[in-house]
Amino acid sequence: MKHHHFFINASTLVHAHESSSTPCPSSSTRNSTSQWHLSLPSKFNSDLWCFKNSGRPMARSSKLSASFVETQSGGTRWNPSTEQIRILEALYRGGMRTPSAHQIELITAELSRYGRIEGKNVFYWFQNHKARERQKQKRSALLALCANTTDIMSPSAAVSNMGKECSMAGNKKRCRSWNVAGIDDGDHDKEKSCDGTLELFPLHPERKDT
Amino acid sequence: MKHHHFFINASTLVHAHESSSTPCPSSSTRNSTSQWHLSLPSKFNSDLWCFKNSGRPMARSSKLSASFVETQSGGTRWNPSTEQIRILEALYRGGMRTPSAHQIELITAELSRYGRIEGKNVFYWFQNHKARERQKQKRSALLALCANTTDIMSPSAAVSNMGKECSMAGNKKRCRSWNVAGIDDGDHDKEKSCDGTLELFPLHPERKDT
DNA sequence: GCAAATTAATGATTTATTCAAG
DNA sequence: CTTGAATAAATCATTAATTTGC
C-alpha cells in the first residue's frame, strides 16, 4: 500500500483523438447538470464540470475485457500515470484536500500533460485519497485505543465494533435503543422510546466494568 | 462511524466557574443560575447539576485550571472509553444536542458502565461536540470559498470577494489556500507551496509524454 | 516463463450525515 | 420542520498485483 506506482501512462494519453463522441454533451444541452446523479456540489455543476464519463456510454457490462479495452482511450476508468500520482500526492501533502472547481481545472490541465484525465478524476482522487488516509489513520488509532481499553468485555467484540457503529452482534442488542430525538434509524426494537427523556437506555441491562 | 473522537473532558469548565470563584455556591443558593456563566439552561440549576466536580471541594481557588480541577475520582480528567464515545456519538447522530438534566442523568448512568464518568462530562461533551462540529463545518465552508475566489493566482480578487460572507476576514489571512481542517498528515515535502495561490505546480517544468 | 485464478488497491457511485436557511 | 448545500462514509466495480499450476 505504500507504493502505488502504476506503470501505465503512455497508452492512456490517447484521449485526444478518441473522444469522438460528444465529449461533454454537447451539442445542445450543455447545461444538463444531472447527467450524473452524482451529488456533486453545485460549484461543480457548471458545464465545465460535465463529468460525463468523457461522453461514452460506459459499456460497463459486456465484459469486453482485455480484448481491446486496453486501448483505454475512453472505455475504461481513469488509470493515473506515475507522474499524475506523484503530483496529486504532492498536492495532498501540501495540504490540499478538497480542491475547488477552479483548482480542479488547473490541476486537470496540468495533469493532462501526463495522460488522459478529466476533472472528475481529480475530484474523485481527492475524495478517495482523503477518505482512505483518514481510514488508515483511524484504524491504527482505534487499534491502539482498543488495546488500551478492553472495557468491552471481549476483545473480539471490541475489534468488530471498531468500524461499525453498533453492530455488536448478539451481545448488546441495546444499541438501537437510544435514538433519542429525531432521525430514527428504522430498526424499531421494543426498547426504543424515542421520547428522549425516558428510557434513554435499556436501563441497566447488564453491567460490565468497574 | 463518524470519527470525531474528541477527548474533551471537563477542563473547559474550569474557566467558567473559576472566574467568579464561586464554584457551586451550593450550600445556600442552589438556585443560583449563574454559577457557570456557561449558558446552562436553567434546567441544569438544580442541585443535581451542580457539577461540583463530583462533590469534592473543587479547589475553587485561583486558577485551579487544569491543575487538578479535573481530578476526578482518580486524579485524572475524564478519559472517555471507546464505548462511551461510540454511544455519545450515536446519541448525537440520533439528534441529541443539548440533553436535559434528566437525560444527562440517564446517559451518565449508562456510560458509567464503561468507565468513570460524571454528568458534567456528558454535558460538556455535547457542548463541545456541537460547537466543534459547527466550527469544522464553518471552516470548511470558508476554506472552500477562499479556495474558490482566491484560486490559484489572484489573491486580491479573492480577498475582495470573501469579505461578504466569510467572517474570516482580516485575521484569517486567507489560510494557506488548501489546508484543510482535518487531520493533517504532517509529512510535508519540499514541494509544498503553502501559499496555495501561486505555484500550484512547478509550472511546466518539462514535458514528458505524448 | 506464462496465464488463469485469486487477492489487494483504488476509481466511481451511492447513501447518510451535518448545519443552517427558509 | 423542511430543505439545500456540502461532505464524508460506505459501497460497488474494475484494474493491478500476486499467487499458483503447468
Mean local confidence (pLDDT), B171-181: 30
Q: Which residues contact B12 (CB under 8 A, 6 or more apart)?
A: B124, B127, B128
> Is there a contact between A151 and B114 if contact means CB atoms under 8 Å apart?
yes
User: What is the number of residues in chain A?
Assistant: 210
pLDDT classification of B156: cutoffs 50, 70, 90: very low
User: In chain B, which residue's Cα lies nearest the Cα of A182?
Assistant: B95
The reported pLDDT for the residue numbered A94 is: 87
| Pair B199, B193: CB distance under 8 Å | yes
> A21-30, A140-149, A197-206, B148-157 — which one is most confidently predicted on average?
A140-149
Q: Which nucleotide is nearest to A40 (CA to C1')?
A: D6
- Using left for φ > 0, alpha for ψ between -120 and 50, and beta otherwise, residue B21 falls in left
| Stated pTM of the model | 0.47
Strand locations in chain B, DSSP E? none
Count of C-beta atoms within a 10 Å radius of residue B124: 21
How far: A8 CA to D21 C1' (Å)? 28
Q: Please tell me the distance in Å from A61's CA to the nearest CA on chain B.
A: 30
Sole residue written with cell 463541545: B128
> Is there a contact between A98 and B148 if contact means CB atoms under 8 Å apart?
no
DSSP string of A59-87?
--SS--HHHHGGG-SSSS-----HHHHHH
A33-54 pLDDT, tens digit per residue, is 223 333 455 555 544 454 444 4
Count of C-beta atoms within a 10 Å radius of residue B166: 20
Report, in ranges, which bases of strand C sit under 7 Å from a protein C-beta. 8-20
Count of C-beta atoms within a 10 Å radius of residue B99: 24
Q: Does B152 touch chain A (CB under 8 A)?
A: yes
The reported pLDDT for the residue numbered B124 is: 86
> B31-35, B107-111, B157-161, B176-180 — which one is most confidently predicted on average?
B107-111
User: In chain A, which residue's Cα lies nearest the Cα of B144?
Assistant: A100
**Which residues have Cβ atoms closer than 7 angstroms to strand D?**
A 4-8, 39-43, 60-61, 65, 69, 75-77, 79, 97-98, 127-128, 130-131, 134-135, 163-165; B 1-3, 140-141, 144, 180, 182
How far: B202 CA to D13 C1' (Å)? 35
Instruction: Please tell me whether any atom of strand C lies within 7 Å of the Cβ of A135.
Output: no
Q: Please tell me the distance in Å from B61's CA to the nearest CA on chain A.
A: 31
Is the pLDDT assigned to residue A23 strictly greater than 50? no
Taking CA A34 as the corner, what is the angle to CA A30 and CA A39, rounded to the nearest 5 degrees?
130
Q: Which residues contact A151 (CB under 8 A, 6 or more apart)?
A: A208, A209, B81, B82, B83, B114, B115
Is the pLDDT assigned to residue B87 strictly greater than 60? yes
62-81 of B, contacting A, C-beta below 8 A: 81
- Nucleic chain C: which protein residues 105-134 of A have CB below 7 A from it? 120-121, 124-125, 127-129, 132
| Pair B210, A116: CB distance under 8 Å | no
Substitution target from A103, A110, A206 for chain B, most B beta carbons within 10 A: A103
How far: A71 CA to C2 C1' (Å)? 22
B27-80 pLDDT, tens digit per residue, is 333 333 223 333 344 444 433 344 434 334 333 333 322 323 333 445 678 888
> Is there a contact between A93 and B207 if contact means CB atoms under 8 Å apart?
no
Mean of all residue pLDDT scores within chain B: 49
User: What is the number of residues in chain B?
Assistant: 210
Q: What separation in angstroms does the CA of A180 have from each of A57, A204, B82? A: 46, 17, 20
Phi, psi dihedral angles at A91 (to 5 degrees): -60, -40
